[in-house]
Chain A
């Protein structure tokens, strides 16, 4: 399904498509880019996009954005994800960057924004804590003012790719006596500060994506506070809004669906009793993708007319993650007995992995995708948001 594009927009689409084809680094085409690439490899595409001026489609031109229309941004998102390119680090470009240019002061903008754009600084997100889950307002990490510094103590968890990070943006409690949402501040912390420790968390797929981050008497200059003290909740919600709209994942689901079809055609003969089942289930998911894509296009059209989708964006998170989970589930089933195998981490081509190449990541993807309905506000929470904020229940 495609938007109705003007001839300029169509030309833009062709330009994006050609740019990807000519410039996407071959060494980033590995079986599972999320887990198999080194930090340097992950940054290759980031740097290419930065040189081109395309690294931050969402950003206003004055801060280094390309100055695209909503439709152009959508086209770019669609083309890059259809082509299976690794998206630039969301914590830097999609999350903290917009918070800094929207709520930060001039010094912060000058210090941080260029380094985000260039990929020099790698950011991670210090939101979740061991007791907090989807209830972010329960943050317990404390920041106590001491002259020109905050002294920060606490424990952040599920921190994605913190092992590579130069900086972490944190929700911290600065007023313990206020109501939960009211006493929170938004603080930028240098990961090299004394007292910051990163401990890997290995997940059920065997990979190391997430971490515990311990903060012990970390001294953070007050100039690293974003906006006003105790107003952090406002900035956090602003950021989460950006996170949820990008979760439909149509391009990714479409690619994985095509791969699933290929696997089913190769693995399962038409006389196999489950062939019809697979065909039916694939059709079902394909229609789910189509409906979500149509919804996305409808919302894009509304947005370009100035209508804010608001909390309905939770719909994209719910359906986008459910669809991708279903596709990884079906792919795992499609490879049959080889679904018993899983790659060992760290991944190495020297380790024997049985069965056809296209099945080598099926098990880990199925396991890993379980996280999608948990993180970024669990799908149960997203349904609560729609119930409350959209339906008024």
Chain B
């Protein structure tokens, strides 16, 4: 089932690889993270110029038609380099939602700016008590003439401090946990009465808590059908999971090769670490974890590309299995690097932290294991 990349896909991959190798090494990333803004517009523009921001979108939307396989290729390389820029938030989440659920007018209004790299987006679905459920929404949106008026709070919105536009889920009808009645709105980040409290995330990103106190949004900014936001978000999550799995696979592959190299070079008790059988077996298990994760990630991306009916169940399965595998690889990479693995100076700890964030975004491995089990 190994994917044979087309010539076009191979070109996409090699152009990202070349760019990241030349311009996005670990030191460069560290500098970017340490800036006031915390991300690099210069690199972002380069991503757009390479066509990455347009890669997954359909040709009818003005994109390059690469679909979920293009996302997989990009995210895997981003995972290898711990790319900090909000590609996942802007292109995969928001762009995907707009293309999937938006009206032709909205697609036309928003997608070009995403594809040419001129707009940054973030998606605000979580709330303080929602955990990973999209239906758990207490933020409200009530109709007032030509506007919706949004009130409530959204939690841990990654990329919000960087974003120009937000997609916010709010309840237009129903009770606090009803599946129906959640709607999605495109909200300008600088809207009146929208307040952000920013914070740094463990993996070097920026996120914010959002407070909405009667934020007025034109009715034209309702994304998708009123009350059907959960369905749109679920489809968004399937794509998000495929992207996060690919990113995790990229990160795992770096950790495995770094650990292997270290175990050959590092001497303890007069011999290389890698000669200890207990560590050999550990690294074999890390190898197996990576191979299984590559396979499941490819399987998921192909299923989503083909719009297979069981795609959503498979997405949860992959989020769980790849999540546990990535955590194992990350924890053991730190363990086998010893004290160095604990230091901020070495890259290993930063991959570890990115993987622990991936395991929280859109639901942890245990959550998705249960969701997988419950899907018939």
Contact = CB atoms under 8 A, between A and B. Distances in A.
Interface of A: 128, 131, 133-135, 138, 157-158, 201-204, 206, 210, 267-268, 272-274, 277-278, 332-333, 336-342, 344, 351-355, 363, 366-367, 370-371, 373-375, 378, 380, 383
B198 interface: yes
A355 B202 CA distance: 14
Interface string B254-286: 000000000000111100000010110000000
Interface in B103-131: 126, 128-131
B131 A354 contact: no
B269 A374 contact: no
B201 A133 contact: no
Contacts of A342: 200-202
B207 A340 contact: yes
A204 B343 contact: yes
Contacts of A128: 339
Interface in B309-342: 331, 334-335, 338-339, 341-342
Given A355-B128, A374-B341, 12 more contacts: A204-B343, A274-B364, A278-B366, A333-B364, A340-B357, A352-B199, A354-B197, A367-B202, A367-B356, A370-B352, A373-B335, A383-B278
Nearest to B367: A274
Contacts of B269: 135, 138
A148 B361 CA distance: 62
Given A135-B268, A273-B371, A378-B335, A341 B344 contact: no
A363 B202 contact: yes
9 contacts: A204-B350, A337-B126, A337-B132, A337-B360, A340-B156, A355-B156, A366-B356, A374-B339, A374-B341
Contacts of A201: 343-345
B356 A371 contact: no
Contacts of A374: 334-335, 338-339, 341-342
A336 B132 contact: yes
Contact of B197 (A206, A210, A274, A352): A352
Given A367-B353, A378-B335, A337 B155 contact: yes
Interface in B128-176: 128-133, 155-156, 158
Interface in B343-376: 343-345, 349-350, 352-353, 356-357, 360-361, 364, 366-367, 369-371, 374
Nearest to A128: B339
Closest 6 A/B residue pairs (Cβ): A204-B349, A273-B370, A337-B156, A202-B344, A342-B202, A135-B268
- The residue in A133, A138, A273 that gathers the most chain B C-beta atoms within 10 A of its C-beta is A273
A128 B339 CA distance: 10
A289 to B, nearest CB: 21
Nearest to B339: A158
Interface of B: 126, 128-133, 155-156, 158, 197-203, 207, 209, 266-269, 276, 278-279, 331, 334-335, 338-339, 341-345, 349-350, 352-353, 356-357, 360-361, 364, 366-367, 369-371, 374
A158 B343 CA distance: 10
A337 B132 CA distance: 8
Contacts of B357: 340
B201 A204 contact: no
Nearest to A325: B331
Given A135-B268, A268-B131, A380-B276, A273 B367 contact: yes
B199 A354 contact: yes
A237 B360 CA distance: 42
A71 to B, nearest CB: 36
Contact of B370 (A158, A277, A378): A277
Q: Which of A134, A340, A380 has the most CB of B within 10 A?
A: A340
A310 B263 CA distance: 31
A367 to B, nearest CB: 7
Nearest to A272: B131
B13 to A, nearest CB: 29
Nearest to B350: A204
Contacts of B369: 277
B278 A375 contact: no
A133 B268 contact: yes
A108 to B, nearest CB: 30
Given A201-B345, A337-B155, A380-B276, A370 B335 contact: yes
B339 A133 contact: yes
Contact of A370 (B198, B266, B342, B370): B342
Nearest to B203: A340
A172 B218 CA distance: 73
B338 A378 contact: yes
B370 A339 contact: no
A204 B366 contact: no
Nearest to B365: A333
Contacts of B207: 340-341, 354
B118 to A, nearest CB: 27
Given A336-B360, A363-B202, A133 B343 contact: no
